[in-house]
Amino acid sequence: MARAFRPVVLTANDLVEGDVVWWTGTVWSRDVAEAAVFETPEAAEAAEAALNTPEHAACTVGIVRVEVEMRDGAPFPTLRREQIRAERRPTFDYLPTSKVSEAA
């Protein structure tokens, strides 16, 4: 039995900055809350096909679908990996403690 389709958003990485970006339906945004939510497989496929152009290939890489649920009226990724990407921050302290105190 096929799994029921769940709403998705489209995400990629900005080719120049490397930032995670989310498709709003018209432009790429760094805020997942602005992402367009696709409720059917056909809508998601059509959006992906529309993004398969040289213009988008020149600014983004790795377009993928991400399942979401709605929280407070905004899409929220269901997988932890995508939640981390949406938070736009590392999951660990990447500076040694001595460097953190120097930076402050």
Q: What is the 3-state secondary structure (H, E, C) of the chain?
A: CCCCCCCEEEEEEECCCCCEEEECCCCEECCHHHCCCECCHHHHHHHHHHHCCHHHHCCEEEEEEEEEEEECCEEEECCHHHHHHHHCCCCCCCCCHHHHHHHC
Whole-number mean pLDDT of the chain? 88
Within 10 A of 92 (CB to CB), how many other CB atoms are there? Answer: 5
**What's the predicted TM-score (pTM) here?**
0.81
Q: Where exactly are the structural domains of the chain?
A: 8-103
DSSP 52: -
- Segment 20-55, tens digit of pLDDT: 999 999 999 999 999 999 999 999 999 999 999 999
